[in-house]
Amino acid sequence: MNLNTQFLHGNFKCEDKTGATLAPIYQSSAFGKSSAEEIEKIFNNELPGFAYSRISNPTTFAFEQRIAYIEKGISSTATSSGMSAISMTFLNIVQSGDEIISTTSIFGGTLDLWSDLKKIKITVKFVDEITEENLSKVVSSKTKAVFAETIGNPKLNVTDIKKAADAAHKFNLPFILDNTAATPYLVTAIPLGADIVINSTSKYINGHSNSIGGIITDGGKFDWNNGNYPSLEKYKKYGKLVFSAALKNDTLRNYGACISPQNSFLNSIGLETLGLRMERHCENALRLAQCMENKPGIHSVNYPLLDTNPWHDIAKKQFGGKGGGIFTMRLYTKHRAFEFIDRLKYAIIITNIGDTKTLVVHPSSTIYAHSDNRTKEKAGVYDDMIRISVGIEDIDDLISDFTDALEYVNTKYGNEVSE
Ligand SMILES: *Cc1c(COP(=O)(O)O)cnc(C)c1O
């Protein structure tokens, strides 16, 4: 099955009972059973079934099955948000005193989570890029995992997944990857070596900005029974599924970060057009980035597929000639950037990515407002930079919108640009 066919048919058939063409919304908190014994068995994982929607729900289960198939994982677990997908993944495997290694150029919310983990004595050590050499400088006997994003948001640095996974495995550490900005459309990360793949479904998978959600996919290849993960020990009997068994039976169930059935339903709808939308997002982003690249009044444009981009080669190879739907550009000063944003007709001013509509934001004063200058610099956030999540509008409209806004800014502030 090719990818677009997988988005529609992978691990999905019309519902048995009714023939419904999408798993219906089972908007029920709990599910009644015919006997005390039956519910006992469901609670002890001796019988498949649904008992309570914090633990599992048929609509959510259908969505999880579809994602697991597409990601080539052995199990997926949906969560209330992308952030809870990240926090549940780590709370599933670490305990007080443990360490995590993360790259520096990642989503601002994840950086904030890394700070919060200090409260429970979990330390995050940073590397700019995941290489064996960089890891060897920060790894210790307490290290439990290595984390990166496929396309760092907003630096747009591209992780070489195979290389990073190989480096983590040299130290017997799992490689955990946030694939939100790339999506399984650009790359399926588990066959390249990622052990756990996380997506904020709020972005491209849902695709229409109508629900917050996250999903964790377990690759099933990492040896969690190597003595390094005491919290997983009681799930040893589940073999390859040990990580997911602990996640579903302990961590997610007890912290309670479940997704609502309604949101799982909306995500399943989104998933079906992921390929179509991504194709257009990528095409539009490339065209718009190319068009803005050498214009007067633009300091620089950052998009992985541009010839001048430091990640051009790996992006081209790893993403099959696509570059994703996001680019950033710098306009020399903050007030030029602000004026440009305000002048755009179609781009919505918003802290989000992955909508059908074009979105624009000034990361330094929003998503990175809580970060110091050094953190911002490491994450590729500059005062004159804007991030554009390119939508699926007609490209000619976007090009004329962006060109007009730039002309306006250049006319108003022309003499301030020092080239
Ligand atoms: C948005 C985002 C998240 C967080 O997802 P939410 O659904 O907003 O909680 C995590 N990682 C990346 C790369 C994101 O873009």
Whether 417 has a pLDDT exceeding 80, the answer reads: no
pLDDT of 415 reads 62
Mean pLDDT of all residues belonging to the chain: 96
Nearest to 64 by CA among 48, 79, 53: 79
- Mutational pocket test of ligand 1: of 81, 203, 204, the residue with most ligand atoms within 8 Å of the beta carbon: 203
Identify the H or E element spanning 399.
helix 395-413
Q: 92-106: per-residue pLDDT in tens?
A: 999 999 999 999 999
Q: How many CB atoms lie within 10 A of CB 210?
A: 14
| Sheet containing strand 214-218, strands side by side | 75-79, 214-218, 196-200, 175-178, 143-149, 99-103, 123-127
pLDDT range class, residue 416, cuts 50, 70, 90: low
Q: Is 112 in the pocket of ligand 1 (CB under 6 A)?
A: no
156, 304 contact by CB (below 8 A): yes
Ligand 1, atom 8, residue with closest C-alpha: 82
pLDDT of 371 reads 86
Instruction: Please compute the mean of the pLDDT values over residues 271-300 and round it to a whole number.
Output: 97
Q: Is 181 in the pocket of ligand 1 (CB under 6 A)?
A: yes
Whether 140 has a pLDDT exceeding 70, the answer reads: yes
What percent of the chain has a predicted confidence (pLDDT) above 90? 93
Ligand 1, atom 4, residue with closest C-alpha: 82
Q: 155-174: per-residue pLDDT in tens?
A: 999 999 999 999 999 999 99
Instruction: Please compute the mean of the pLDDT values over residues 319-341 and round it to a whole number.
Output: 97
Q: 35-54: per-residue pLDDT in tens?
A: 999 999 998 889 999 999 99
CA of 281 relative to ligand 1 center, distance in Å: 18
- Mutational pocket test of ligand 1: of 107, 149, 177, 208, the residue with most ligand atoms within 8 Å of the beta carbon: 107
Nearest to 269 by CA among 205, 356, 216: 205
Strands (DSSP E) contained in 209-340 are 214-218, 300-302, 326-330
pLDDT of 317 reads 96
> What is the C-alpha to C-alpha distance for residues 121 and 173, in angstroms, rounded to an integer?
20
> What is the C-alpha to C-alpha distance for residues 116 and 84, in angstroms, rounded to an integer?
13
Instruction: Sort strands 348-349 and 300-302 into parallel, antiparallel or unpaired.
Output: unpaired
Whether 341 has a pLDDT exceeding 60, the answer reads: yes
Instruction: Please compute the mean of the pLDDT values over residues 287-298 and round it to a whole number.
Output: 96
pLDDT range class, residue 418, cuts 50, 70, 90: low
Whether 268 has a pLDDT exceeding 80, the answer reads: yes
